[in-house]
Structure 1
Amino acid sequence: MIRNLALMLVFLGIVFGGIFGWKYHQAQKMAGARGGMAAVVSTQPVREESWQAKLPSVGTVTPTYGVVVSSEVAGIVRELGFDSGATVKAGDLLVQLDAEVDIAEAAALEAERKLAELTRDRLLRIVNENLGSRSDLDEAEAHLEAMRAQVAAKQATINKKSVRAPFDGKLGIRTFNRGHYLGAGEEIVELVALDPIYVDYTLPERYLAQIEVGQDVIVQVAARPGQEFKGTINAISPSIERATRSVPVRAEFANPEGLLRPGMFADVTTVLPARDAVVTLPERAITYNPYGDSVFVVEDGEGGQTVRRVQVRTGNVSDGRVEILSGLEPGMEVVTDGHNKLRNGQPVTVDNSSLPDENQAAGLVAPS
């Protein structure tokens, strides 16, 4: 029985060994076939051109002025001078609080001030005629000044009960009506200035030397698809954010129609100055790796065309093309499609028959 079991095990070993050997042979054969097979790729030449790079980023629309108007003093709302969403000018009345008691008190204080002034004037004549005491005159003058201060303080309180717009802008939504008791410091309405308006965003610190105040900026927002807003850099932060190693930037935009609103998410493009003789190629030709970026360059040989991997150093990206700082020369033919299946030295067959126009394929906008 043991002998039969041993023979069966030997037989099964021979069978499975043959199967695995045949599979291995087939795999080696297919690998060899692939190694000698020319891969079909599409290519584009490295170009030297006048180029205007753009730095993409995201930002937030911010008002030039924005406050929540509130009252410094408490009182009952007697008059409302605005509607929700209204546009106002600096000094326009927003809310009038009940000031009857304060006005009456101001009248009483004014009467006391006039009496103090008459008393001072009478004592002044008496002292000038050497008929009265100088100390009485000094006391009268001090009382007059105190009354003037009380009148001014009461008038300031009355003025505070007329809440006015501190600057030109657009109001938010009103949440109360006449008769509402407004506490000291209670919010009345939001007020923002919309023209001009800011967009705040950040750029990596490596671009700090390439940006300056007055540089052109283009913004797009989801609420206005396909519409571009053009502005300029208004300010650049003097310090770098430590957490992100980025520099805060503020751009200013004319906004006469109020299309940009505070809080909007914005796609921001900072336009860099145009440069000549910039070496570029389509961004999709680049293979990005942690150890370095590379491309496959097509070379002609005795046996046909092959590819060679070349390490490159990239720069700015704009409209689907990338700046090549080193590694390539204008005129070199690089693989743009099909490079994911390539290895160094592999034969290739170039087929560009199905490619669109080069500028369209790259998404390139011809420089003006």
Structure 2
Amino acid sequence: MIKRILIVLLLTLVILGGLFGFKFYQIRQAESLVKPPPPAVVAAATVKDEQWPSALTAVGSFSPVAGVNVSNEVIGKIKALHFQSGQSVAAGQLLLELDAETDRAELEGLQAELQLAKVRLQRSEKMLEKKYVSQADYDQHAAQLQQAAAAVQAKRTRIDKKMIRAPFAGELGIRQINLGQYLGEGAAIVSLQQLAPIHLDFTLPERHISQLAKNQAIAATVQAYPGEVFTGKIVALNPGVEQDTRSLKVRAKLDNKDKRLRPGMFAQVRIESGNPRPVLTLPDTAISYNPYGNSVFLIEPNGQDLTVQSRQVVTGQSREGRVEIVSGLQAGDRVVSAGQVKLRNGMPVTIDARPAPGERETGQ
């Protein structure tokens, strides 16, 4: 009985083994008939040796030479407005008046007291010569005259503070108050900015300090006016380096006579700093920017084919769509400039005869 069972199991195993072997043979035959995928088609760029003018680049923002929110020092109700939103004003120009009728009435009373104090002092002076009054009485009348004069001056100053004037020449913003409105102390009335000239503030790494100096020329471009270059000069360098960022704050001044540059605008800054220097460059489309470091796919020959290998690179400045390669590549190396997403190390590639889309526009 046991012998029969063993024979049945053996036959079963032989049959199953034959079936599995046949299936495996069929699968291998099918795989052999499947053609491998063609090499990925990519655009290529060559590392170029160029001469770049020695220049520093940075980003900054414009700020006014003088800018304030005009406000009042004393409380009061607005009696008259003498400006419009967006108006250009001169230094000292009257902007608005607060109601000062009560103060003027009080000033008349104080002036009367001042006149009376003067008369008392004059009378005391004559009587002092004849010994009709004591020196103490004369001194008291002199002090009363000074107090009355001070009270008059204080009231005149308060009335003058109710006449709000522009502290400097500039451009007014949008009015934030209305006629008849009651203003508390320090209420925001209108923004006043001096636009011509204008400051441009930016920062540079501490390694560039030796290349900076006062009166050095700068050029700035802004998105609002593409293709235009605005020139100025450096007027101030911060005496110390920021400890958190190890960068130096720099301020330049631009004429801005047409007042097209406005405070808060973003600017690309360029500072010429010496003779041209040799650099290795690639189009920016060839660089893969990652938190752990920048890389490219280097194209290498592999027999009759071409394959790619990822290569870490250190990048420098960027100019007109090209990036400086500080280390990691040599002049003449070919890298993938478009199509990196589908690649992996050792993968075969075919180079497209056309350049990458970004390079077609620049003619690189």
Q: In the aligned structure 1, how far is the partner of 2:93 from the partner of 2:52? A: 53
| CA positional deviation for 1:333 | 1.8
1:60 to 1:46, Cα distance in 2 relative to 1, 3 A: closer
- Aligned pair count reads 349
Q: Which residue of 2 aligns with 1:49?
A: 51
Mean CA deviation greater in 334-343 or 191-200: 334-343
1:257 to 1:186, Cα distance in 2 relative to 1, 3 A: same
Partner secondary structure for residue 62 of structure 1: strand
Q: In the aligned structure 2, how far is the partner of 1:148 from the partner of 1:137? A: 17
Q: In the aligned structure 1, how far is the partner of 2:138 from the partner of 2:77? A: 43
How big is each residue's C-alpha offset from its partner over 1:23-47, in whole Å with a ceiling of 9 and x where there is no partner? 77679x959x97xx9x987554632
Matched, 1:216 2:215: no
1:13 to 12, 20, 30: 20
Q: Which amino acid aligns with 1:276?
A: P
Q: In the aligned structure 1, how far is the partner of 2:12 from the partner of 2:267? A: 75
C-alpha contact (below 8 Å) 1:297/1:309 kept by paired residues:
no
Q: Which residue of 2 aligns with 1:334?
A: 333
Q: Which residue of 2 aligns with 1:108?
A: 109
C-alpha contact (below 8 Å) 1:56/1:270 kept by paired residues:
yes
TM-score scaled by length of structure 2: 0.75
Matched, 1:134 2:135: yes
C-alpha contact (below 8 Å) 1:45/1:334 kept by paired residues:
yes
The answer for unaligned runs of 5 or more in structure 1 is: none
| CA positional deviation for 1:211 | 4.0
Matches within 5 A, 1:236-255: 236-237=237-238, 238-240=240-242, 242=244, 244-255=245-256
C-alpha contact (below 8 Å) 1:280/1:321 kept by paired residues:
no
Q: In the aligned structure 2, how far is the partner of 1:218 from the partner of 1:51? A: 16
How big is each residue's C-alpha offset from its partner over 1:194-225, in whole Å with a ceiling of 9 and x where there is no partner? 11223334444554554444341313134x34
Matches within 5 A, 1:1-368: 3=9, 6-7=13-14, 9-19=16-26, 21-22=28-29, 42=44, 44=46, 46-57=48-59, 59-213=60-214, 214-222=216-224, 224-237=225-238, 238-240=240-242, 242=244, 244-264=245-265, 266-284=266-284, 290=292, 296=298, 314-325=315-326, 332-337=331-336, 354=354
Q: In the aligned structure 2, how far is the partner of 1:40 from the partner of 1:183? A: 69
How big is each residue's C-alpha offset from its partner over 1:160-192, in whole Å with a ceiling of 9 and x where there is no partner? 111111111111222443322222222222211
1:362 to 1:47, Cα distance in 2 relative to 1, 3 A: farther
Q: Which amino acid aligns with 2:146?
A: E
Mean CA deviation greater in 284-293 or 13-22: 284-293
The answer for unaligned runs of 5 or more in structure 2 is: none
1:211 to 1:150, Cα distance in 2 relative to 1, 3 A: same
Q: In the aligned structure 1, how far is the partner of 2:264 from the partner of 2:313? A: 40
1:117 to 1:5, Cα distance in 2 relative to 1, 3 A: farther
Q: In the aligned structure 2, how far is the partner of 1:277 from the partner of 1:219? A: 23
1:112 to 1:63, Cα distance in 2 relative to 1, 3 A: same
| CA positional deviation for 1:227 | 3.6
1:245 to 1:142, Cα distance in 2 relative to 1, 3 A: same
C-alpha contact (below 8 Å) 1:41/1:335 kept by paired residues:
no
Q: In the aligned structure 1, how far is the partner of 2:47 from the partner of 2:176? A: 64
Partner secondary structure for residue 74 of structure 2: coil
Partner secondary structure for residue 96 of structure 2: strand
Mean CA deviation greater in 18-27 or 227-236: 18-27
What is the CA RMSD across the aligned residues, in angstroms? 4.3
Q: In the aligned structure 1, how far is the partner of 2:173 from the partner of 2:88? A: 9
How big is each residue's C-alpha offset from its partner over 1:223-268, in whole Å with a ceiling of 9 and x where there is no partner? x3444433333434423262x554444333222232222333x142
1:128 to 1:13, Cα distance in 2 relative to 1, 3 A: farther
The sequence identity of aligned pairs, in percent, is 34
1:306 to 1:211, Cα distance in 2 relative to 1, 3 A: farther
TM-score scaled by length of structure 1: 0.75
C-alpha contact (below 8 Å) 1:320/1:363 kept by paired residues:
no
Q: In the aligned structure 1, how far is the partner of 2:242 from the partner of 2:47? A: 39
Q: In the aligned structure 2, how far is the partner of 1:183 from the partner of 1:291? A: 56
1:226 to 1:326, Cα distance in 2 relative to 1, 3 A: closer
Q: In the aligned structure 2, how far is the partner of 1:13 from the partner of 1:157? A: 107
Q: Which amino acid aligns with 2:168?
A: F
1:124 to 1:361, Cα distance in 2 relative to 1, 3 A: same
Partner secondary structure for residue 114 of structure 1: helix
